[in-house]
Amino acid sequence: MESVRIAIKNKAYMTRNFLFILTVMLLSFLFTIAYWAYSSHIARGARLSTAKVVSTSGKYRLNRPMGITVDKEGRIFVADSGNNRVVVYKLGSWFKKIIGGPDGKMKTPTSVALYKNRLYVGSYGTGEIQVYDKSGELKDSLPHQKDRLNLPDIRTLALTVDSQGNLYASDAKRQQIAVFDQEGNLKLIFGRPGYFPGELSYVNGLAVDEENRRIIALDSNNLRLLYFNFEGKFLDYLQLDKIAKELFVAPRGLAYDPEKKAIYIADTLSDNVVILSEQGKILDKSGKIGLSYPHGLFLGPDKFLYITNRENSDIYLLNS
């Protein structure tokens, strides 16, 4: 009789043990499915991870770096706003160069953009966009004299170019966006100050979606991502703080990947870079990786995401 009771207890123990193992396996399976479902919403290769940190030192040390761009040769151009210059670096090389500096022609550069051999610099303090060649020689300044009746000066916060060489610039003084052609002639001015959708309050990022003929503007103070057509007509918007209030506090940098249809936004107060779908779904975020007031953002030809780390005076490269 005693042996029967022991056998029953052993059987009950084995049953409980089996159920426990089965439960663990089921939970593990469900977790795998959930993770796969989460990952499937992220565009291929769009997961953010730190690839490299470029520290700066000596006479090339950055002071409050803002805008950033990269050419096909891998040279990195950084708007070194605190030193009134642009600093050029090249990964894996000793090459460094300074454009601007103590001559006083460039003051508080906020943004940079490249087209062929032209480097555009938003010189906020002088109220112009300066045009250099890559050797660092000043070639032109915008707006041209003939355009100054419509645009006397421009306090640029963001610059970008399209494949045709059109230059897009945000003007913090008038809360407008100006478009220049390849020769630097003023083509279009659009936008107006305000707080309603379609109105502007400090556009700190610009990108161009050429396939859909759209201009994308990061409206920082209104916490919005705005879409305009190439004629400057307002189309639509995403309200960033409704997507994730804790991530979008002071958005500054903007980049767009036309292949993945992904939008990258750097936020200086949440210390994050966030990837959004065009519909406003969060695809990924950098998390706490050492960013401190990230500002400028550029998706390089090598598909690395280049970020200026404003308070740490360095540059982060993320796998995009």
Give per-residue pLDDT as tens, 167-181.
999 999 999 999 999
Residues 6 and 73 in one domain: no
Q: Which residue has the tokens 């084995």?
A: 14
Backbone dihedral region for residue 286 (phi beyond 0: left; psi -120 to 50: alpha; all else: beta): alpha
Cα separation of 33 and 29, whole Å?
Answer: 6
Residues 138 and 15 in one domain: no
Asked whether residue 206 carries a pLDDT value surpassing 80, the answer given is yes
Residues 101 and 75 in one domain: yes
Name the β-bridge partners of 138.
132
CATH number at residue 217: 2.120.10.30
Provide the number of structural domains found in the chain. 2
pTM score: 0.84
Residues 108 and 50 in one domain: yes
Structure tokens at 252: 């500054």
Cα separation of 132 and 71, whole Å?
Answer: 14
Cα distances (Å, whole numbers) of residue 243 to 109, 207, 239, 280: 31, 20, 7, 7
Residues 142 and 169 in one domain: yes
Residues 10 and 143 in one domain: no
What is the residue range of 35's domain?
1-40
Condensed to tens digits (0 to 9), the pLDDT of residues 44-98 reads: 345 678 888 998 999 999 999 999 999 999 999 999 999 999 999 998 888 899 9
Residues 90 and 2 in one domain: no
Query: Which has more pLDDT, 93 or 304?
Result: 304
Cα separation of 72 and 76, whole Å?
Answer: 10
Asked whether residue 34 carries a pLDDT value surpassing 90, the answer given is no
SS3 252: strand
User: Is the bond leading into 143 cis (omega within 30 degrees of zero)?
Assistant: yes
